[in-house]
Amino acid sequence: MAKSKRVHVAVGVIQNPDGDVFISRRHAHLHQGNKWEFPGGKVEADEDVYQALCRELFEECNITVQAAAPFTAISFDYPDKQVLLDVWVVTEFDGAVRQQEGQEWAWVPLHQLDAYPFPEANQPIIERLQAQTAR
């Protein structure tokens, strides 16, 4: 059976002034449903990753990104889907962050992220975020 095309996803690690990050729970019917995630979505053919990040975070979280920097890129193969997570840290934004799509959401200190079940592809993001704060 042929594998499907890799899905390119722009992911935003949104940090508040206290250093907490914004996460939300995926809807049950979606791939990796009921797990927690950093917001973001597919990079469309006519946009670069930063444009996709800004669009997705406006649509999902009601914010306008003012400052973001590339953090890491993770290629991961699930049995049923392949993803390329292009992860950016968002440190400045306009608007009050909230989940626009009806999902449960939370601001979580980095050291508490392990208490939330994330998709396997997200584990390297969490480990790298926690390693940076441990320094």
- State the binding site for Mg(2+): 40, 60
Q: Which residue type, as a one-letter code, is found at position 41?
A: G
The one-character DSSP state at 125 is H
CA distances 31 to 4, 64, 118, 132, Å, are: 14, 27, 12, 29
**Residues of each annotated binding site for 8-oxo-dGTP:** 26, 31, 37-40, 122
**Residues of each annotated binding site:** 26, 31, 37-40, 60, 122
In this structure, are residues 83 and 121 in contact, taking their beta carbons and an 8 Å threshold?
Answer: yes
Four-residue CA torsion sign, 11, 4, 116, 128: negative
Q: Which residue type, as a one-letter code, is found at position 115?
A: A
Instruction: Locate 27 and state its tokens.
Output: 């809807």
